[in-house]
Amino acid sequence: MRHITSTYIENLVVFKQQLLQWSQQFDDVVWMDSNQYDARYSSYDAILAVDAFMSIKTDYVHAFEKLQEFQESTKDWIFGYLTYDVKNGLEQLKSSNFDGLEFSDVCFFQPKRLFLIKGNQLEIQYLNMVDDEVESDLAEIASLQRLDSVSKTHPVKIKLRIHKDAYFEKVNSMLAHIHRGDIYEANFCQEFYAEDAEINPLDTFENLNSVSKPPFATFLKHYDKFLMSASPERYIKKEGQTIISQPIKGTAKRAADVIEDEQLKHDLEHNEKERSENIMIVDLVRNDLSKTAIKGSVNVEELCKVYSFPQVHQMISTVTSKILDTLSPIDVLKTTFPMGSMTGAPKLSAMKIIEDLEESKRGLYSGTVGYFTPEGDFDFNVVIRSILYNQSKKYVSYSVGSAITSKSNPASEYEECLIKAKAMRDVLEG
Residue pair 80/30 in contact (Cβ under 8 Å)? The answer is yes
For residue 239, which amino acid is it? E
Q: Annotated catalytic, 233? A: yes
User: From the candidates 237, 238, 249, 352, which is the catalytic residue?
Assistant: 249
Q: Is 93 helix (H, G, I), strand (E, B) or coil?
A: coil
Report the C-alpha gap between 166 and 151 in whole angstroms: 37
Q: Exposure of 190 by Cβ count < 10 A (0-12 exposed, 13-18 middle, 19+ buried)? A: buried
Q: How many CB atoms lie within 10 A of CB 250?
A: 25
Residue pair 81/338 in contact (Cβ under 8 Å)? The answer is no
Q: How many helices (H) and strands (E) does the chain have?
A: 10, 20
Cα angle 263-268-273, degrees, rounded to a multiple of 5: 145
The separation between CA 291 and the C-alpha centre of its own chain, rounded to angstroms, equals 23
Residue pair 187/342 in contact (Cβ under 8 Å)? The answer is yes
For residue 397, is it left (φ>0), alpha (ψ between -120 and 50) or beta?
beta
Residue pair 401/161 in contact (Cβ under 8 Å)? The answer is no
Calculate helix-pair angle for 410-429, 201-212, nearest 10 degrees.
130
Residue pair 231/246 in contact (Cβ under 8 Å)? The answer is no
Residue pair 243/283 in contact (Cβ under 8 Å)? The answer is no
Q: Which residues pair with 78 in a beta bridge?
A: 372
Strand runs labelled E in 34-158: 46-58, 78-82, 106-118, 121-127
**Please, which residues have CB within 8 angstroms of residue 52's CB and are 6 or more apart in sequence?**
27, 28, 109, 110, 111, 112
User: From the candidates 185, 191, 206, 233, which is the catalytic residue?
Assistant: 233
**Please, which residues have CB within 8 angstroms of residue 336's CB and are 6 or more apart in sequence?**
235, 236, 245, 285, 288, 289, 291
Q: How many CB atoms lie within 10 A of CB 238?
A: 21
Q: Annotated catalytic, 249? A: yes
Within 297-409, residue ranges assigned H as helices are 329-334, 347-357
Active site residues: 233, 249
